[in-house]
Amino acid sequence: MALPDLTKRLLIMNVARLTTRRAWQARGVNSTATASASDERARAVSLDARDPLAGFRSRFLIPDDDLIYLDGNSLGRLPASTPGRVAQVLTEQWGDRLIRSWEDGWLELPSVVGDRLGTGLLGARPGETIVCDTVTTNLFKLLHAAYDLRPERSIVVADRADFPTDRYVATEVARQRGGAVAWLGPMTPGATRASGLRVGDVLPRLHDAVAVVVLSVVDYRTAAIADVRGITAAVHEVGALALWDCSHAVGAIPLDLPAAGVDLAVGCSYKYLNGGPGAPAWLWVNQGLHGELGTPSIPGWLGRADAFAMGPEYQPASGVRRFVTGTTSPIGMTCVDEGVALVRDAGVARIRAKSELLTAYAIDLVDSWLAPLGVRLGSPRAATERGSHVSVHHPDAKALSTALADRSVVTDYRTPDGIRLGLSPLTTRFTDVHDAVLALRGLLAPG
């Protein structure tokens, strides 16, 4: 698998950087394994040396350089510029300007940050994206909006393998609207999608009573990428709307929602966008639908036209602005803004290119080191068909994930037998991938 001559040369060239090898030796790797592994580590070192995004790691606050953090798909790292900007919001804006800060710009943040996110990362046109609330709340609002746009229809199509919140909200909104969910599947509990959703998976559920199809672009467990464009076109064939959850996609893979014909979308800001824990999420509505939107399911005062008129009845603000419910924290909004700025600086195309290499490298090592020890790959093998994490399966996944954490390798366990290795292109190094898989091998074949 490795190129022996090249790796030897690089081993000599990069001998200084190999001092961190002590860190992975300390992760419980035996000496014979270490000998064969050092060539492989040199390969990882050389991949890092040639990585055009390597410099972005220094734009994050990383207090422990030896911690291998492979969970950026659940909670991205802290951009180095965020604490300073948040401090400014706290002291200069809140502290000094107090209530006047709303007029100074806070009120516009949902749209301003939304447009930066949307135009930079979603292919959106200005005025289509807002940052507010959680993905859960935004899904609720947009599913109701979809029912309002298709009042004579009763069915939501959703995926049994989707993230819990998407399944729960689809079920509840369908119930509230006197309809039902038509599930893609059937899937036995715990079963995962090894390949991304295709038109053929959705077609059997599509007919003229379907109001909306809600699916995730990237499967949260296996990282399999759905055929957004093809499925959206098929959904339109029966007159229904397509709502895509981009939580595991935004900031990791290129998205062009208008070009794909998507109607509605939601997504998360604290994963690959590094907006921080509980950062406000976003929602997007194709401008072609703005004229048909009605009263949102949560008609909040800040989503009202002329909010400060404090009018007797709700009148929707124009466009997506109506989906702003109440007051969203300018602090969280600022965190999202910084995370989005970093991703825009790096460029989604370069992020995607590195992501494909990182996941391919991880799969390479899983194949040669872990497959013989009973580990099964859960993610698609074709780079173009997977997002930025790799899932592996083993009956002892839970204990293994805990043991890895004890060795400063942070992954996450997904019931019943999965471990996700989240590879965030702006901060994850090839050596991190190497060291983590080696540590896992050390756990499975100790001594």
Q: What is the identity of the amino acid at 4?
A: P
Listing from the earlier edge strand, what are the strands of the sheet with 210-216?
A: 129-131, 282-285, 264-267, 241-245, 210-216, 155-159, 180-184
State yes or no: is 420 an active-site residue. yes
Cβ(365)–Cβ(434) under 8 Å? yes
State yes or no: is 245 an active-site residue. yes
What is the C-alpha separation between 383 and 432, in angstroms, rounded? 19
Nearer to ligand PLP, 216 or 391 (CB): 216
Q: Quick one: which of 136, 154, 195, 368 contacts ligand PLP (CB under 6 A)?
A: 136
Nearer to ligand PLP, 163 or 430 (CB): 163
Q: How many residues in the shown chain lie near ligand PLP by CB under 6 A?
A: 13
State yes or no: is 166 an active-site residue. no
Footprint on residues 43-62 left by ligand PLP (CB under 6 A): none
Q: Is 140 in the site for ligand PLP (CB under 6 A)?
A: no
Nearer to ligand PLP, 268 or 433 (CB): 268
Q: Is 245 in the site for ligand PLP (CB under 6 A)?
A: yes
Q: Which of 163, 220, 272, 361 is catalytic?
A: 163
Helix, strand, or coil (residue 315)? coil
Footprint on residues 74-133 left by ligand PLP (CB under 6 A): none
Q: Is 135 in the site for ligand PLP (CB under 6 A)?
A: yes
Q: How far is the CB of 354 from ligand PLP (least distance, A)?
A: 21
Q: Quick one: which of 93, 216, 222, 379 contacts ligand PLP (CB under 6 A)?
A: 216
Provide the Cα torsion 34, 35, 36, 37; round to 10°: 40
Q: Find the part of the chain contacting ligand PLP (CB under 6 A) among 158-166, 285-293, 314-322, 338-346.
A: 158-166
Q: Position of tokens 């979308």?
A: 265
What is the C-alpha separation between 309 and 210, in angstroms, rounded? 39
DSSP state of 427: T
Q: Is 284 in the site for ligand PLP (CB under 6 A)?
A: no
Nearer to ligand PLP, 166 or 412 (CB): 166
Nearer to ligand PLP, 7 or 232 (CB): 232
Q: Quick one: which of 257, 281, 370, 404 contacts ligand PLP (CB under 6 A)?
A: 281
Q: Is 171 in the site for ligand PLP (CB under 6 A)?
A: no
Residue 292 neighbours by CB under 8 Å, 6+ apart: 149
Provide the Cα torsion 220, 225, 230, 234; round to 10°: -20
Helix 135-149 vs helix 164-176: angle between axes, to the nearest 10 degrees?
Answer: 40
Q: Find the part of the chain contacting ligand PLP (CB under 6 A) among 196-204, 228-236, 240-248, 381-389.
A: 240-248
Pairing of the two strands 389-393 and 418-422 = antiparallel
User: Nearest to residue 267, comparing CAs of 122, 110, 120, 111?
Assistant: 122
Pairing of the two strands 282-285 and 68-69 = unpaired
Cβ burial, residue 96 (10 Å; 0-12/13-18/19+): exposed
Nearer to ligand PLP, 24 or 140 (CB): 140
Q: Find the part of the chain contacting ligand PLP (CB under 6 A) among 93-101, 243-251, 288-296, 339-347.
A: 243-251
Cβ(420)–Cβ(73) under 8 Å? yes
Q: Which of 48, 227, 245, 412 is catalytic?
A: 245
Q: How far is the CB of 309 from ligand PLP (least distance, A)?
A: 31
Q: Quick one: which of 106, 147, 163, 323 contacts ligand PLP (CB under 6 A)?
A: 163
State yes or no: is 271 an active-site residue. yes
Helix, strand, or coil (residue 392)? strand
Q: Is 165 in the site for ligand PLP (CB under 6 A)?
A: yes
Q: Quick one: which of 60, 106, 220, 323 contacts ligand PLP (CB under 6 A)?
A: 220
434 vs 13, 28, 95, 286, 348, CA distance in Å?
19, 14, 46, 42, 24
Nearer to ligand PLP, 245 or 417 (CB): 245
Q: Quick one: which of 134, 154, 295, 368 contacts ligand PLP (CB under 6 A)?
A: 134
CA max distance for the chain: 77
Q: Find the part of the chain contacting ligand PLP (CB under 6 A) among 112-120, 179-187, 245-253, 346-354.
A: 245-253
Q: How far is the CB of 392 from ligand PLP (least distance, A)?
A: 19
Look up residue 443 and give its two tokens: 């756990």
Q: Quick one: which of 268, 342, 375, 436 contacts ligand PLP (CB under 6 A)?
A: 268
State yes or no: is 57 an active-site residue. no
What is the C-alpha separation between 354 and 340, in angstroms, rounded? 18
Binding site for ligand PLP (CB under 6 A): 134-136, 163, 165-166, 216, 220, 245, 247-248, 268, 281
Write out the catalytic residue numbers.
163, 245, 270-271, 420
